[in-house]
């Protein structure tokens, strides 16, 4: 989802982009990584591949660690300046004010543990890294909350959405623009939070999607307890982004507008 939008934006901005996926470079295999990176010799790597099924990671723990930890280590060992996309789920959610990069991660689910292990592997193996933590990501080219809500609204009379987890929705286009900015401005290597400004709950997010799409449907708040999932989620994973992205609602409006134009054309 991120990779597709990012490669389009970078190409529009005169970067030569080499796209890759598991078919020509399986990041868990060091021989694949050596061969592909060795041959292509990129100036930067954006490592956007991951095991991203948060609930699935609870039962497929080994696969999730192999991709998110070992895969990150293999990429880092190439010693090419790199971006690693991490997550708000490295935090435990016990804070009541936005998480800064000075806060100590303490993931509460396996996915968060694997992504944190990836961060650690990168720090250990490649000093020229940007670790960008993002959250509640949606984009035009993948399965995500916005599309799921619009799809559910077309099939049901009412939506029931969790209202006791708070975070920062982020468009893949905003994250891509931030990566472009880092490249253009050659920002100092390190860890950054790149997510929409402001925050909401999944319920608040769903309400705004329906409002901006002009879909007349009842959206009811429910608790996490009413929707048990295999992976525990942090109650509060709002991150301080230091002004790197616009307000999440503005980004959502832009996304939905483009979505309507794309569907019409």
Ligand X SMILES: NC(=O)c1ccc[n+]([C@@H]2O[C@H](COP(=O)([O-])OP(=O)(O)OC[C@H]3O[C@@H](n4cnc5c(N)ncnc54)[C@H](OP(=O)(O)O)[C@@H]3O)[C@@H](O)[C@H]2O)c1
Q: Which residues form the catalytic set?
A: 111
Q: Which is nearer to ligand X, 53 or 217 (CB)?
A: 53
Q: Which is nearer to ligand X, 135 or 251 (CB)?
A: 135
Cβ–Cβ under 8 Å, residues 239 and 99: yes
Cβ–Cβ under 8 Å, residues 68 and 118: yes
Q: At what angle do helices 145-153 and 248-264 cross, to 10 degrees?
A: 60
Q: Cα(199)–Cα(256) distance, rounded to whole angstroms?
A: 18
> Closest separation between CB of residue 220 and ligand X, Å?
23
> Closest separation between CB of residue 209 and ligand X, Å?
15
> Closest separation between CB of residue 79 and ligand X, Å?
19
Q: Which is nearer to ligand X, 66 or 215 (CB)?
A: 66
> Closest separation between CB of residue 29 and ligand X, Å?
8
Q: Which is nearer to ligand X, 119 or 249 (CB)?
A: 119
Q: Which is nearer to ligand X, 141 or 220 (CB)?
A: 141
> Closest separation between CB of residue 264 and ligand X, Å?
25
Q: Which residues bind ligand X (CB under 6 A)?
A: 1-2, 21-22, 26-28, 48-50, 52, 67, 71, 85, 87, 115, 134-137, 142
């Amino acid at each position: 989802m991120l990779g597709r939008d990012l490669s389009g934006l970078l190409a529009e901005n005169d970067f030569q982009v080499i796209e890759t996926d598991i078919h020509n470079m399986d990041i868990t295999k060091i021989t694949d990584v050596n061969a592909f990176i060795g041959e292509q010799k990129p100036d930067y790597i954006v490592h956007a591949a991951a095991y991203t099924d948060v609930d699935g990671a609870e039962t497929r723990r080994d696969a999730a660690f192999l991709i998110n930890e070992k895969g990150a280590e293999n990429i880092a060992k190439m010693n090419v300046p790199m971006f690693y996309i991490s997550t708000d789920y490295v935090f435990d959610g016990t804070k009541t004010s936005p998480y800064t990069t000075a806060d100590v991660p303490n993931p509460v689910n396996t996915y968060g543990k694997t992504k944190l292990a990836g961060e650690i592997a990168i720090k250990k193996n490649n000093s020229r890294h940007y670790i960008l933590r993002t959250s509640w990501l949606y984009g035009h080219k993948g399965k995500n909350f916005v599309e799921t809500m619009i799809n559910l609204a077309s099939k049901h009379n009412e939506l029931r959405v969790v209202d006791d987890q708070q975070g920062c929705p982020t468009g893949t286009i905003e994250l891509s623009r931030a990566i472009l900015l880092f490249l253009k401005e050659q920002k100092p290597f390190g860890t950054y939070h790149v997510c929409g400004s402001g925050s909401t709950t999944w319920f608040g997010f769903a309400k705004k999607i329906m409002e901006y799409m002009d879909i007349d449907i009842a959206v009811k708040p429910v608790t996490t307890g009413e929707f048990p999932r295999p992976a525990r989620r942090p109650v509060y994973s709002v991150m301080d982004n230091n002004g790197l992205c616009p307000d999440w609602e503005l980004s959502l409006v832009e996304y939905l507008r483009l979505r309507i134009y794309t569907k019409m054309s």
